[in-house]
């Protein structure tokens, strides 16, 4: 398997028990995951998306991070995710949605 250029991790709030119980999941992260999966394919982006457990930035959820760049995004919506993918196609972060440290 070839490694993707970008790997997008979307918090889906999984706890140690495997239950998705947290802010991101309750605020639509599952739909966001589906949206990103479809858009990556439609755009032919060299990227992979995976769901994760809590990224520990719950107050800013739904949260996601793009590696290897380490671009963290919070309060994500499909509209914001679209802008993130637009920027990713240019190899750039969507700076207006980046989390402050």
Return residues touching ligand FES (CB under 6 A).
11, 13, 22-24, 54-58, 61, 63
Axis-axis angle for helices 78-89, 29-43 (nearest 10) = 30
Query: Could you tell me if 50 and 62 are in contact, meaning their C-beta atoms sit under 8 angstroms apart?
Result: no
Q: Which is nearer to ligand FES, 8 or 45 (CB)?
A: 8
Can you tell me the distance from the alpha carbon of 50 to that of 76, in angstroms, rounded to the nearest whole number? 15
The nearest distance, CB 33 to ligand FES, in angstroms, is: 12
Q: To the nearest whole angstrom, how small is the minimum distance from the Cβ of residue 53 to ligand FES?
A: 8
Helix (H, G, I), strand (E, B) or coil at 4: coil
Q: Which residue is at the shortest CB distance from ligand FES? A: 22
Distance in Å, CB of 98 to ligand FES, minimum: 16
């Amino acid at each position: 398997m070839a490694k993707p250029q970008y790997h997008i991790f979307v918090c889906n709030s999984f706890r140690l028990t495997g239950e998705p119980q947290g802010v991101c999941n309750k605020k639509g992260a599952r739909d966001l995951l589906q949206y990103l999966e479809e858009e990556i394919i439609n755009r032919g982006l060299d990227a992979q998306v995976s769901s994760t457990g809590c990224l520990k930035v719950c107050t800013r959820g739904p949260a996601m991070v793009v590696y290897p760049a380490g671009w963290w995004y919070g309060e994500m919506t499909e509209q914001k995710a679209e802008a993130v993918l637009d920027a990713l196609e240019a190899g750039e972060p969507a700076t207006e949605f980046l989390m402050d440290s």
